[in-house]
Structure 1
Amino acid sequence: MRTVLNLTRTLYGFESRRFDVCPQFIQVLLWELRWRRRHNGGVAEQSFRRTRDDHALETAADYVELIEDLIATSGEARGSDLAKRLGVSHVTVTKSLTRLARDGYVSYQPYRSVFLTEKGEALARQSRKRHKLVLDMLLALGVPPEIAEHDAEGMEHHVSEATLNAIEGFLSARAR
C-alpha cells in the first residue's frame, strides 16, 4: 500500500487511498513513472539540465564578449590570446571555440583568428547590456565599484528577463 501511495504522490501530486491495490495497477503506475522519467526527465533532472544549459550559455557569453574586446583593441582574436586572458589552457579554448562554432556563435579554424558571426555579435550585445544593467543596479545600491564589477560579472548570467526588465524600470524611474 505504501508503494502505491508514494507512486500516486510522485505521478499525480496527491496521495490517494481510493485505489484497489492489485498487481496490475501497480504495474501500470510503475510503467507510467518509468515512461515519464525517460521522456520528460524528473524534476531534479530538468533542474540540472537547465543549470547545465545556463552554464553553457554563460561560457559562450564570456567568450564572445572577450572575442569582441580583442577584435576591438588589437584587430583580431586568437586562441592563444583567449587562453591567456581567461587563464585556461589552449586545449580548453580549442574545445570551447569548436563548440561555439558548432552553435553558430563564431567562425573559427584552428591556428587562425576567430570571428564573431551575427549570432555571436547579438549574444555579445545582449551580454553587455545585461552586465551594464546589473552593474548599474549594484552601484545604485551603494556597492563599491570594484566589488560591483566583480559581482555583476557573475550575476549577469543568472538573472531572468523579468528581473532585468524590473531593474531597467527601477533605474529609469530613479534617473527621472
Structure 2
Amino acid sequence: MKAEAALTETETKYLMLIYRKQVEGSSDVSTTSIAKIFKVRPATVTEVLRNLSKKRLLVHRPYRGVELTEEGKREARKLLRKHRILEVLFADLLKYDPKSACKEASKLDYHASMELINTICRTYGHPTSCPCKKTIFTDVRCKREG
C-alpha cells in the first residue's frame, strides 16, 4: 500500500505522535491521551484511529489503546524523517532554535515531497539526528554520495 499518498494530514500527525510515544518513548498510547494532546474530543480520536486501523497502520483496541503495525512503524519513520530533515534546514539555514524549528517543520512536513526532503538531506551530508537529537531515519532513495 502506498500509505503516504492515502493519508490525510491529520492521520500523519497521529501516526507520528503514536510512534514518538510508543516506540521512542516506550509508553502506552490511549485515546484520551491523544485527545488531550491534540485538544479534540475522544470521539474524534476514535474516528481517526479507526481510519488508520482500516489502512492497516495500527491496531486499535477500544479502552486498551493502540499499537502500530510494522507497516505503521515504517510509515511513521518516513513521516518523521521528513519532519526532522526540515528541522535541520530551519535550525542551520535560518538559525531557528530546536523548539521553533520543530514547530515550523510541523506546519510543512506533510506537504514536502520526498524529492525535496532527499535534496535537503544530500545538501546537509545525510544528517543522522535533528536539532532535538532525535534519529533521522535513512531512505534508500536518498543516494548517499562518497
TM over 0.5: yes
Report deviation, 1:149: 1.6
Q: Tell me the residue number matched to 1:154.
A: 107
TM-aligned CA distance change 1:107 to 1:55, over 3 Å: closer
Q: TM-score scaled by structure 2?
A: 0.75
TM-aligned CA distance change 1:87 to 1:173, over 3 Å: closer
TM-aligned CA distance change 1:173 to 1:129, over 3 Å: closer
Residue 170, structure 1, aligned to residue 129, structure 2: no
What secondary structure, in the 3-state scheme, does the structure 2 residue paired with 1:76 have? coil
**Which has the greater radius of gyration?**
1
Q: How much is the aligned-residue C-alpha RMSD, in angstroms?
A: 2.4
Report deviation, 1:103: 0.8
Given that 2:56 and 2:72 are in contact with CA atoms closer than 8 Å, whether structure 1 keeps it comes out as yes
Given that 1:54 and 1:157 are in contact with CA atoms closer than 8 Å, whether structure 2 keeps it comes out as no
- State which of 37, 40, 50 in structure 2 corresponds to 1:88: 40
Given that 2:82 and 2:114 are in contact with CA atoms closer than 8 Å, whether structure 1 keeps it comes out as no
Q: Tell me the residue number matched to 2:144.
A: none
- What fraction of aligned residue pairs are identical, expressed as a percent? 26
**Where does structure 1 differ by over 6 angstroms across 4 or more consecutive aligned residues?**
none
Unaligned runs of 5+ in 1: 1-52
In the alignment of these two chains, the number of paired residues is 123
Report deviation, 1:155: 1.1
- Listed one character per residue, the Cα deviations across residues 98-128 of structure 1 (whole Å, up to 9, x for unaligned) are 1010011110122122000011101111111
Report deviation, 1:138: 1.0
Unaligned runs of 5+ in 2: 128-146
Q: Tell me the residue number matched to 2:20.
A: 69
More helix by share: 1
Q: TM-score scaled by structure 1?
A: 0.63
- Larger relative contact order (C-alpha < 8 A, sep ≥ 6)? 2
What secondary structure, in the 3-state scheme, does the structure 2 residue paired with 1:148 have? helix
